[in-house]
Chain A
Amino acid sequence: DAGVIQSPRHEVTEMGQEVTLRCKPISGHNSLFWYRQTMMRGLELLIYFNNNVPIDDSGMPEDRFSAKMPNASFSTLKIQPSEPRDSAVYFCASSFTSYEQYFGPGTRLTVT
């Protein structure tokens, strides 16, 4: 099992461009989480889904951020338009029980 898969691993884009981050959770997991990691704020939840339904998006910083989970095996996090302050590492995690969340390798986003 490859675990949680995220793409791209690295993304460099210019301010104002649209950025789409992708996540494939572990098969059979019914919860998916998007976290963002910055030096200042550490790891913070952006949004999470249970059974493909968004449950809590209160961590999404602005309307520029949106996330979808069209099916149990795929989720996207979109930033439009991107800004330099969006530069961070974005992690996706999935879980089946409360015991453990499995993290992807992260996407390092740099907005210039």
Chain B
Amino acid sequence: AQRVTQPEKLLSVFKGAPVELKCNYSYSGSPELFWYVQYSRQRLQLLLRHISRESIKGFTADLNKGETSFHLKKPFAQEEDSAMYYCALSEGGNTPLVFGKGTRLSVIA
């Protein structure tokens, strides 16, 4: 069965400190992995996807198939990074997303 696990419900870091939001998945195949973010009073939106191998707002995420992980990282946290972050996977194509339960990141000034 497809499953996404985000072990931390809440992560608090100081401004300028490194951030790592953990995500592990279980899937029999080659899934597509995503990070979605929801800022206060805004819609859920795509942050980044593993196939693009891009850095968005300073965030990166590397897919580790051996460890079935897709952790989200940023070297220096900013206050505007405070938000709810969801890791998700799909089978590819226009198929539904399976979400983790989310991690709330709080960046303290």
Contacts and interface: CB of A to CB of B under 8 A. Distances in A.
A binds B: yes
A89 to B, nearest CB: 10
Given A42-B102, A103-B43, A105-B43, A97 B94 contact: yes
Interface string B75-98: 000000000001000101111111
Interface residues of B, number: 21
Interface string B23-37: 000000000100000
28 contacts: A3-B43, A33-B96, A35-B97, A35-B99, A42-B99, A42-B101, A43-B86, A43-B97, A45-B96, A45-B97, A45-B98, A48-B95, A48-B96, A50-B94, A56-B96, A91-B44, A93-B44, A96-B94, A97-B94, A98-B32, A98-B92, A98-B94, A98-B95, A99-B49, A100-B46, A103-B44, A104-B43, A105-B43
A73 interface: no
Contacts of A99: 46, 49, 51-52
Interface in A36-73: 42-45, 48, 50, 56
Given A33-B97, A100-B46, A101-B97, 4 more contacts: A42-B101, A45-B96, A45-B98, A101-B46
